[in-house]
Amino acid sequence: MARIAVPLARGFEDSEFTVPQQRLREAGHELTVFGARAGETVEGKQGNATATLDAASAELDPESFDALVIPGGHSPDHLRLDANAVALVKAAVEAGKPVAAICHAGHLLIEAGVVADRTLTSWPSIRTDLENAGAHWTNQALVEDGPLITSRAPEDLPDFIQAIERRLAVAAS
């Protein structure tokens, strides 16, 4: 099964972390939740979920993961300031590994410099940010462009997770 890295910081959108985490673990995938400091507990913006970070971004080797799943909320904006997290996202995209980003996760993709000339979707409020970074934005539940898998919001989670699972199955075969 796949090894999946999940970058996370305080203020993540609760369901955009918990639902993929549960589904992917149930499917047998190994998830490593990482952020600024290993062992830190971060809380979701709705206050319905917490997560303890398995590793610090500085400790991780991008080659040790098969995919990244980036939840939205305020978390991606905090992670933009973590050079190691940004570098890990950039390395994953450049290596052609699946990188799934939902809602405000586009902020981290922008910081990694991987959105130019790609078609993406996101929460509508970051449309201009994505377009200013060179992306082509569209208002769809799911968009796949190269290694990037993007969705808009929690209501898009079924399509988002299905796309991740499909991409992991193709990579495994």
**Active site residue ranges:** 103
| Residue of 93, 38, 52, 39 lying closest to 70 (CA atoms) | 93
Alpha-helix residue ranges (DSSP H) falling in the chain: 14-26, 75-79, 83-94, 106-111, 127-132, 157-172
Q: Rounded to an integer, what distance in angstroms lies between the CA atom of residue 151 and that of residue 94?
A: 20
Q: Rounded to an integer, what distance in angstroms lies between the CA atom of residue 82 and that of residue 69?
A: 17
